[in-house]
Structure 1
Amino acid sequence: MSAGLATILGTTAFAQDVRVAVQDAYGFLLPNASVRWQAQGGSWVKAEHEGDGTATLHGAANKLLLDVEHPYYGHRQLEVSVPGDDHGVLVVSLDSQSTQAKFKSSRMLVVPTGATANAGNGVSCSTGVGCQLPDQLGHGGSGTLAATSDLNPAAGFRVAESVSTTSAGSIGSVCWWGIYFNFGSGTDCGPGPGDQFSVTYYNDDAGGTVPGSVRAGPFSVSAVKSATGNVVCAGTTCIAEWQFEASHAPVAVGAGECVWVEIVNNTQTGSCFWLWSAAPGGDGRCAQATGASYAATDYDVALCVDVAIAPDGCGAPPPPANDACIDAITIGGTGSFAYDNTAATTDGPGHVECNFSSQTGIDRDLWWCWTAPASGDYEIATCSLTGTDSKLAVYDGCGCPVGAPIACNDDSCGLQSSLTVTAVAGQSYMLRVGVFPGAAGGSGGFSITSFAIPTNDLCADAIPVAVPSVTTGTTDFATTDTNAPTCIVGPTSPGVWYSIVGTGNVLTADLCDGAATFDTKLTVYCGGCASLTCIDGNDDSCGLQSSVTWCSQLGGVYLILVHGFGGESGPFDLTITDTGVGCTATQNCAPVGACCVGSGCMLVDAAACAALGGQFQGAGTDCGTVQYTASTCTQQWEDISLVGTQLFLGDDDGVFIPLTFPFSFHGVAQTQVGIGSNGYLSFGTVLDAFSNQALPDANDPNDVIAPFWDDLDPTAGGAIYYNFSGTVPNRALVVSWIGVPQFNTGDSNTFQAILFENSSRISFRYLGTTPEAFAGDYTVGVENATGSAATSVPGSTLSAGLCLSFDPDTAASDCPANASIDITPGSCPNPFNPDSRGALLVSLAGTPVLDVTNVDFATLYLVRTDRVGVAVAPYLGPPGPHSMFEDRSTPFYGPATHCHAAGADGSLDVSLYFRAVDVVDAFELDTVAFGTQVPVMLTGRTLDGRWFQGEDSLTLVPPPTSINLRVHSSVPDTFIEVSPSDLITDGDGWAPFERWFQAGTSVTLTATPDPLAKFVGWRVNGQFQSGSSTIQVDLSQTTDVWALYVLPRSSGSTMGGVKFQ
C-alpha cells in the first residue's frame, strides 16, 4: 500500500468477536437462521445480524454455547471451543439429522452456485446475497461483499464508490482489493495476462445518491498486483485475494468535496471475472450501474486514495419521508406495504414491552398511521418480505410521541417479525417498523392481514363512497352473498358492499389499479337489498381484475358488490370515476324506500309506489324485519273449482304464474309466484321438492308458503286450481289442492292458500287431510328467502274446517302494522246519522300482532282514508270513561267496505267512543249525501313505538223515524238503542249523555212490537220534559233518566219508558 493511502471504510472487530455462517449440507447460506450465544455462566445474547446471511457474536469467550433456530431445520444447540488468534469464521452446517460446526479461515468466500446477473454472472452488491466475505481480510477497509465491474458497461455491472475528502489536494493513487473467480467451473482463475483496469472519477451532481458527470478519466492503468497472503475459500475451493495499486494523472479535489470513483477491469475473458470487495460499513453507499444508468445500492466498496477522507463517504440519500413519528404515512385496509429503511434514522424510544435479547429499542424505524377497516384481529408481519433483522411495534392512536406499545415483536419467523392486534373499526393505530438495534437496514415490506369480518359484509351495511373516489378494502373473511342475484356474473366468493349516488352521467367502477392481486368480480345493482335489480357485472376486464361502466340516474342509489372468482378473496382498491358524459339511456334506478300499500310494506321507488296506489315514505326508509304470526280464523272454504284455472301438474312439478296485484312477502315486493304439486307456493326457484323439511331451513326450497308440504302426486288423483278474485285494492289469489293424494297412498287431501292484496296476509283453509303418520310428516308454515326465519304450525293440528291466518308483523318498519277495527260492532252496514247528537263506537280488535293493552291511547286518531278533513280523537280521552277494554268484535282483514257484523271472539278489544258532532265537523260530513260510504282509518302507536292502522267505513243515513226499545216499561234497562244505531251508552255513568229525538217518533218495542208507540219526551229525576228536545245530563250526578213513550191500548193510552242508570 502506498504511503499516505487512507481507507474510507474500516471498523476492525474486537479480537474475540466470532462471525457465524449458518449453511445447509450443500454449502448454501441460510439467512433466515436465528443465532443466540451464551458464555459460561452468562445469559443468552442475540447475535448481531449482518444483513449478508451471517451474524457476529461480540465479545465471545473461549467456550460458548450456541443456539441456532431455522424455520425448516428447527432448533439446535451445540457447544463450541473458540481458538485464540485469527479464529476466522464459525461455519454451522445443518441437515435433517445432524448439526456440525467448524472454524474456517477468515478469508473464506461463499460464492453462490450458478450465480446469475447481467453479462455473464456478474454479482450485484445491491442484492446482499451475492459473494459474501468475512471482515477479517488483513488490511484496512476489509469487506463482506464482492461487487463486480465488467469490461462491457452496456452488458454488465459497473460499480462506483463515493469519497468525501477532508482537505484540498489531488488524488494520484488508488488501491483496491478483489479476487478472480470462474463462475463456470467454480474455481480460482487468477489475474489475466497484462491485466488492465480503467479508473474514472465522477462529480456528485446527480442528486447526491449516484455518480453524476465525468470529472476525470477514464484512466487506463496497469495495476500493481500482489497476493496479500490472504486466502478465501468457497467450500473446498480456496482463492487468492489480490491487492491492487495504481497511479494516474492527478485529479484535483477540494476540502469536503464529494467525488465518485469507478474501477473497471478491462481484460476479463471467458467465464473468469474479477470481483471487487465490498462492505456494509462506512456510509453504506456504493452505486451500481447496468448499462449507462447508475442506481444506488446498499453497501460500500473497499478502496483507498492518497488524500485524507472522512470515515463516511458522501452521496447518502435523505431519510425516507416517514422517518419521524410526526411524518407517519396514512394507510388503511389490508395488503402489503413496501419500504426501504437503509437511510432511516432512529426516532422512537425503547420500551420494556420490546425487550428482546436485552434490547428494548428499534433502530432505523419508519412510521405509518393505519386505520382499521373493521373490528377484529389483524396480523402485521414482515415474514418473507424483507431480508433485514426486523422489529415491529404497534401503538393505540397516532399521537406523537408514542406511549407504550400494545404489541411488539422481534423474531417471529426467523429474523423477521409478526404480531397480532385486536382493532376497532375506524380507529387509528401507529405502526413502527424498524430493525433490531445495530442491524443493517434495507428494502422490504410488511403485510396487514385481517381476521375480521368487514363491516360492509352485508348489503344492508353498504359503505357510501363519493364520486369520484378511491376506496381501499378487503374481502378477506367476508361471507359469500349467495342471495344476490346473478348479474352477468354470479357471487361465488366472499364479497363486500358499497353504495354511490348517481350523477346523471356515465360512471365507472373498477378494481384495475391498486392492491388487488386476486381474481376479482364486480357487480352493480340498484333497488333495495331485498329486491336487487341488475345493472351490470364483470369478471376479467383488466387482467384478472374487473371494471363496470354504466349510465347513472341523477339521485339514483347504486349498490356495488366487490367479490371474487372461485372462492378467492383479498385486498383491493375500488376506484369510482365520473366520465362527465351525460346519459342517453338512463337506468331506472331512483332511490327506493318503504311503500305502504294497504297494511303491507315493500321497498320500491316513488313512481312504483304511486303505481301501486301506496304511500311512499321517502328515500331510505325501510320495511324493517318482517315476521309472521299464526292464529286461527273464522273464514270458510272458498270453492273455485267452477271459476278457477286448473293446472295439470306432474309428480314433483310446478309452474310460475304472474301476480296481478301488489303483494309483499317478508317485506319483498313479489311479481310472480310458483305453485308446486307438493303442496306449497314459492317465490324462489325450486318447485319440485318432495321431501319436506322443518322450517326454517337454509336448504332449498326457501321463500315458501306451505299449507300442506309433503310428497303429493296429482297424477294419481285430484286437481289443482288457482283463481284471482276481488277488485282494487282488495284482490286475492286462491290456490286449491282438491283431493290430491300422497305419493303411492291413495288418500285424499283438500286444502287451499289465499294471498290478500290489501294486507299481504296469508290464509290456509282445510276441508280434509290425512292425519300425520308421525310428527313432522307434513310441513305447514311460511319461510323467508334465506331460510333464516319462519313461522310454522304442527301438522298434527290440521282438521276439517280449520282456518289459519298468517299476519305480517313488522318490527322497525316505516310502514304501519295492520290492525283490525270494527265500527259499531254487530251493525251492518255501519250506518251513521250526521244529525246525531250521540256517539260513534269504534272497536279496536286484539289480534296476534296487536295487544290492545300495549296501545298508547294518546296517539289514537280517526281520519278519513281519502284525507279529507282533519283527524279526530276519542271523546274525553283517551284514556277516559269513553275508552274501555272489553271483548266486542272479531278481527277482520277484508275490504274496508265489508259489512262486518261478527261479535265477540274471546280476545280482549278496546272500545273507543267518538262524539258524533266531532266526527261530522272533522270529516266534513254535513255536505255528504245520504247513502254515501265514507272509508275511515284508525291510526296509532303502541307503547313501544310501533305504528299501526286499521280501516273500516261509515254509511251516511238520514235521522231515524222510529225508536227500537229493547224492553218495554215494565223492565227497566241500562241502555237504549235506535235503529239505525247512532247511540250506545254503557251504563257506567260516563258524561255527558246527549241524545236527540223528534217528539212523536214511532217506537218499536222489542218485547211487544207495536207500530203505534210514540216517543213523547224525557223524565229526569222525576221531572217530565216533553216535546222535541235534546237532553244533556251528567249521569254521574243524575240517577233517574227515562226515555218516555206512549202505547195505545183498547182502554186508552199507556205510557212507558226505558231508564238510564
Structure 2
Amino acid sequence: TEFADDEIRTNYLQLAVPEATLSYYTQHRGVEAGERLLVEYLRSNGDWVAIGIHESDGVDQTVFDFHQFELPAAARFDGGRIRIRADVNESNDDWYVDDFRICDEPVSTVPNDECVDRTPVFGGDNAFTTIGATDSGIDDALGCSTSSGPTVTNDVWFEFTAFCTGPLTMNTCAGTDFNTRISLYDASGGCPTSGTPAFACNDDGCGTGSSISTFALAGQTFIVRVGSPDGSFGDGILRIECNGQGGPPNDECVDAESVSDGITQVSTAGATSSGIDDVLGCSTSSGPTVGADLWYLYQTSCTGLLTIATCGSDFDTRISVYDASAGCPSSGSANYACNDDACGTGSQITVPVLEGQLLLIRLGSSDGATGDAQIVIDCEPFDSPCPEDVDGSGTIDGADLGLLLGAWGTPDADADINGDGTVNGADLGLLLGAWGESC
C-alpha cells in the first residue's frame, strides 16, 4: 500500500524469530482529546493490525509514557514491518515517539526488575511502578493462588528489614491501579527460584489487590516481590505495617522516646530520614545529611558533664543533640552538640549541662545504614556541689560574675566551672543559668 502523509514505517525486518518484544515511548502536545496515535504491524497477507492505540486526553504531556508489547506470531516473519500513524483532525497536532525498539527479550526500564537489584522499602506507604518491568521467570509455589496458577509477570523486587517483633502485614489494597500479586521470602536464603517456598504470598486478598500477614522478628530481612498474575502492570502503593505501625514509633522528632542514664539497646531498622540536615560542622567527611534517624528525649540528671556515646554499634552512627525547649529542629538548626566518628564509626559527645535540662537526641547515619546500637548516657557531676559560686559566698551573684570575667581566657581553676581548662563562654553560661541560687 502507498504511504500516507500521517504515517512512518520501518524498513522490512527479519522477524522470523521465536519471540520478539516491541517497546517505545510516546508523548503528545497540542493534541485534542480523543485523537489517537496507532502503532501497527504488517501481516503476511498485507493487512495492518493495531498493537498499540494511544488516545489523547487533550492535556499536554510533560513526560514520556513507556509502552511494551510482545509481537504476536502473525507479526514475526521475514519481511514484516511496523508503522506509526496519527488519527487526528489537525495537521499541527504533535505526537512524539522515542527509543523505538524490537528485541528478542523484553526491555526493562525499572531499576529493581530483578531480585539481585532489589531496592529497600520501609514501614508505611511505598510508591512503586511495574511499568517497564519484565518477567523474572520465577514461578510462585502452587499454593499462592487458587485461581491464577503459579506464574508471576511484570514483577519488581524489594528488601525490607523488620523494625519490630510482632505481626507484619503488607498489602497493595489502596492506590494501586492493576491486578497485583505479592510474594514474601526470607532474605537469608538468597534470591528464590521457581517453586521456592514463600514466607507468605497472596493474589487477591482485597479485590484485585494483594494482602499478606506473617510474624517478624526485629532485624529480620525479607525479599518482597510484587507482580501480576495476568500480565497487567501499573503504579501502586505497597503498605507495610509491623505491630500495627508504619515505622518505629520514634521515627520522627515529635514522637521522641524517653531515655535515661545508662545503656539503652536500640535498633534503627525501618527508620526513615527526617529530612533535617545537621549544621555543616558536625562532620568533616560526610556532609550535613543524616539518614535513617530515630529520636529520643532525655532529662539531665546532674549539673556536670554529660556524655552520650554509641561506640560499639554495628553500623556507622551519627549523633545530634538539641535543646528540647526550642522544639523540634529544622535543617541547619543550631544544636547543643553533634558528632560523626569519634570512636571509629561510632559517635560520642561530651557537654556541660544543668540538672533538669530537656534534650532531644537524634541517632542516625551518614550513609543511610541501619542496625543495632547502644546509646550510653552518663552525667558526671562537677566536683564542687556549687562550682558557679566562684567566691564561695554561698550565693551566685555579681561578685562571682566579676571574678569569672576577670579570669576570662585563663585556666583559672576557680572560675573554670566546667573544668575544661579554659574560662570561657561555657563557664559563663553555667554561671548565668544558676544566677541567684544559694549553695
TM-score by length of 2: 0.49
Which is bigger in relative contact order (C-alpha 8 A, separation at least 6)?
Answer: 2
More strand by share: 1
More helix by share: 2
